[in-house]
Structure formats: structure tokens, C-alpha cells
Amino acid sequence: MKINIHKNVFNTNEEYASEVKKILKKYNIKTFNLLSSPGAGKTTLLEETLKLLKDEYKCIVIEGDLATDIDRQRISQVGVESYQINTVKGCHLNAKMIYELLNDIVLNDIDFIFIENVGNLVCPAEYNLGEDHKIVILSTPEGDEKPLKYPVVFRNSDVCIINKTDLVKFVNFDIEKIKINLKKINPDLTTFFVSCYTKEGLNQWINWLKNNKEG
């Protein structure tokens, strides 16, 4: 049995985030912090992403969840190493959690770390984890007005994935309206329209990840 005892080495979340950033830079690892409402499809997107990346790149996944490791088990079945952080009642991951985890694992040869944050479109947006990019995922059944209603997460992210585009014809979601609303909140956002069911748009997203790694 291994017991890890961690002291508070730093004081603020930003200090921990900046330390995480240094570690990731040292090992040349690209890290993405995935943010969305519960059920927007973060885990399914990760499964599809990992299937397309894992033969070429070493990936690991950090799963944030209040209470279970259901998502981590799904990631394991894709054949990718994954680590669980349970926040119990906590509504977001913080940089200290990531810092402590990185100190416990071997970082050599890792190309990508994907962090699946707690499903919450509000709180996680305010906590840097030392990641390279925040990725916000919005699924079409949630509605095209969400960038206006939850502006912080869309403003703080570099990429937006509009997920479940296969459901557009069954729900109240207008592709032109979402483009306008995203532009209003964050004109610099890179947006992908993806369906993990039909695989539409996955290649563009994967290419963006690869360019990000190689660039």
C-alpha cells in the first residue's frame, strides 16, 4: 500500500498552475482541460479522440468526477492509461490536484494529457490547471444560446467543440445562431462541429491536436 502525503507547497491555485505548466513544458507534454455541462459528451469525445491518436502518440487521461470512476473505466477500455480524481462534493478540479498527481506518475515520453474536468459549465472555467488549452464542449441538445448564458467558460477557452451534431434535426439548435453567439462572446475561439456517432468533424479536431503538438 502506498500512502502519498502532500504538503501545501504553494499557496494559490495560480501558483500551482504555474508549477504544473513548468513540469509539462519540461517534458514537452501538451495538455488540454475539457470543460462542459454533465452529459455533453466529454468522455465519448475522448474515447474517439484516443482511438485516433494512441497508435501514434502516447496519451494519458486524468478524470475528474465527484463520486465514481465510471468514465475512467471507459477510458481504460480504449487501452489508455488514466487516473481518477474524485472531488466528493467539489465542483471543479484545481491545479494542486494536478500538481500532486503529476508528482506521482512517470512523465517520460508522454505526448498528450487530456483532463476531463467535473461536468459543470460554471466553476471549472475559473481554475487554471496549468493546461495549454481549455476546450469547451457544448452539445446541441443544450441549446444555441448557452454562450450568452455561460460567458465565462466560452471566454476562457481556446477551442469550442459543438458536439452531437447528429441530433441537430431533432432539437432546437441553429448552427448559424451558435456561430453568431460564440463570436459575440469570444471572437478568437476555434470551433469544431463534431458528431462522435457519425464521426463528422473528428478529423479536423484531431488535426488541430496534432498541429498543436508538432507546431
Kindly state whether residue 64 participates in binding its own copies, applying the rule CB under 8 A.
no
Q: Could you give the 3-state DSSP secondary structure of residue 152?
A: helix
Among 95, 101, 118, 137, binds its own copies (CB under 8 A): 118
Q: By C-beta, is 9 or 70 nearer to its own copies?
A: 70
Q: Could you give the 3-state DSSP secondary structure of residue 109?
A: coil
Q: Could you give the 3-state DSSP secondary structure of residue 153?
A: helix
64 touches 115 (CB < 8 A): yes
Enter the DSSP assignment of 118.
-
Residues in region 169-198 near its own copies by CB under 8 A: 170-171
Distance CA 70, CA 111 (A): 24
Q: Of 22-30, 32-40, 49-57, 99-107, which segment contacts its own copies by CB under 8 A?
A: 32-40
Among 28, 56, 126, 175, binds its own copies (CB under 8 A): 126
Q: By C-beta, is 7 or 169 nearer to its own copies?
A: 169
Q: By C-beta, is 26 or 89 nearer to its own copies?
A: 89
DSSP codes joined into one string, 8-65: --SSSHHHHHHHHHHHHHHTT-EEEEEEE-TTSSHHHHHHHHHHHHTTTS-EEEEEEE
- In this structure, the number of other CB atoms found within 10 A of the CB of residue 207 comes to 11
Q: Could you give the 3-state DSSP secondary structure of residue 94?
A: coil
Q: Of 2-10, 77-85, 102-110, 119-127, which segment contacts its own copies by CB under 8 A?
A: 119-127
User: 1-30 mask for its own copies (x: CB under 8 A)?
Assistant: ------------------------------
Residues in region 136-165 near its own copies by CB under 8 A: 139, 141-143, 145-146, 148-152, 164
Residue 182 Cβ vs its own copies, minimum distance, rounded to whole Å: 15
Distance CA 186, CA 177 (A): 14
Residues engaged in binding its own copies (CB under 8 A): 37-39, 65-68, 70-71, 89, 91, 118-123, 126, 139, 141-143, 145-146, 148-152, 164, 166-167, 170-171
